[in-house]
Amino acid sequence: MSIGESKQPIVIKRIVKKGGHHGGAWKIAFADFATAMMAFFLLLWIMSSTTESERAAISEYFQNPSAFSGSSVSPSQNMGEGTGSKPAIIEFEGAIDMAPETATPPERLSQEQLDALIQAQDEARLQALEQRLEQAIEQSETLAPYKDQLLIDITSDGLRIQIVDKENRSMFDIGSARLKPYTEAILKELGSIINQVPNRISLTGHTDARPLQGFNYSNWELSTERANAARRALIAGGMETDKIGRIVGLSSTAPYDSRDPNNPVNRRISLIVMNQQTDEAIHEETTSLEALKTKP
């Protein structure tokens, strides 16, 4: 470049960003951080203001949020100490487990305390099964269309599931023990759910008061055969065969609607998931019959 030539000026352009919208992701992160810090300080306050027995009770509650009450010897006792947490009360892909550990070893309990504990566990297991069934009835494509025909309640004998007839929607062929296809599908699904608990079941068949026209064939035979047909469908759905504790046909002697003996709702199958007390009563009855056979 010659001396007389002018130099090309160098222009430096500075871009200044003005303040504006920066997004809201930082707000979520800050809220999570604030929540975690609040929980941390709350934990410190609880640890400093409670006694060892109170901390043990809190530990027991979070490790065993069920119907049972009790306290641990120490707060770490129910933590498993590296063994992992306890299984859930309801395993939706497996069995219903309602047998939590107790702070006092079973061998140190009196017989009365042990019986009360077993009864409490049995009741909690049936309540968990009731919730599982109610949820399945609402969500299952098989059960939901017939939820008005599925009646569930807890009685002194156990958890009762009644499948009732409805006008123009019978469970069986008229005067027959042959299941309708949808009734068989309902029983199969119920069988797979009931199989998640160890309790045995009782099946009872009911009819209305209309007499049958067949020769030497009454509602007594029909109600019993329908209960047996329900048993076969339950087993086909995956329920174990040894879970059947009793099968009874009651004809029209125990109507659901006593004011109208011919009401279709009186035609029903009653399935009871028996509690331990009812199951033991059946066992004692069987034992008494066996004793009569051997009696000279």
Q: Residue 169 falls within a domain, yes or no?
A: yes
| Coil, helix or strand at residue 195 | coil
Which of the residue ranges 126-130, 211-215, 245-249, 273-277 would you say has the lowest mean pLDDT? 211-215
Q: Residue 58 falls within a domain, yes or no?
A: no
Give, in degrees to the nearest 5, the angle at Cα 145 between 141 and 149.
Answer: 130
Beta strands 244-249 and 201-206 are parallel
Tokens of 274: 């028996």
The number of domains in the chain is: 1
d(CA 29, CA 35) in angstroms, rounded, equals: 10
Q: Residue 11 falls within a domain, yes or no?
A: no
What pLDDT band is residue 290 in, cutting at 50, 70 and 90?
Answer: low
What pLDDT band is residue 261 in, cutting at 50, 70 and 90?
Answer: very high
Please identify which residue in the block is written with the tokens 């004998």.
Answer: 157
Q: Residue 75 falls within a domain, yes or no?
A: no
Which of the residue ranges 47-61, 71-85, 166-180 would you say has the lowest mean pLDDT? 71-85
Q: Residue 95 falls within a domain, yes or no?
A: no
Hey, which bits of the chain come out as E strands? Answer: 150-155, 158-164, 201-206, 244-249, 268-274
Q: Residue 4 falls within a domain, yes or no?
A: no
Rank 11-20, 41-50, 216-225 by mean pLDDT and report only the highest.
216-225
Q: Residue 209 falls within a domain, yes or no?
A: yes
CATH number, domain of 213, equals 3.30.1330.60
Q: What is the pLDDT of residue 69?
A: 43
Higher pLDDT, 38 or 248: 248
Count of H-run helices and E-run strands, the chain: 6, 5
Higher pLDDT, 21 or 179: 179
Express each pLDDT in 264-279 by its tens digit: 999 999 999 999 999 9
* Phi/psi-derived region of residue 273, left when phi > 0, alpha when psi is between -120 and 50, beta in every other case: beta
pTM, two decimal places: 0.63
Q: Residue 163 falls within a domain, yes or no?
A: yes
Task: Give the whole-number percent of the chain exceeding pLDDT 90.
Answer: 47
Which of the residue ranges 31-40, 88-97, 99-108, 142-151 would you say has the lowest mean pLDDT? 88-97
- The answer, yes or no, to whether residue 27 has pLDDT greater than 90, is no
Residue pair 203/227 in contact (Cβ under 8 Å)? The answer is yes
The chain-wide mean pLDDT, for the chain, equals 79
What is the average per-residue pLDDT within 210-233? 92
**Taking the CA of residue 37 as centre, how many other CA atoms within 13 Å lie in the half-sphere pointing to its CB?**
6
d(CA 170, CA 267) in angstroms, rounded, equals: 8
Task: Domain of residue 253: give its range.
Answer: 115-285
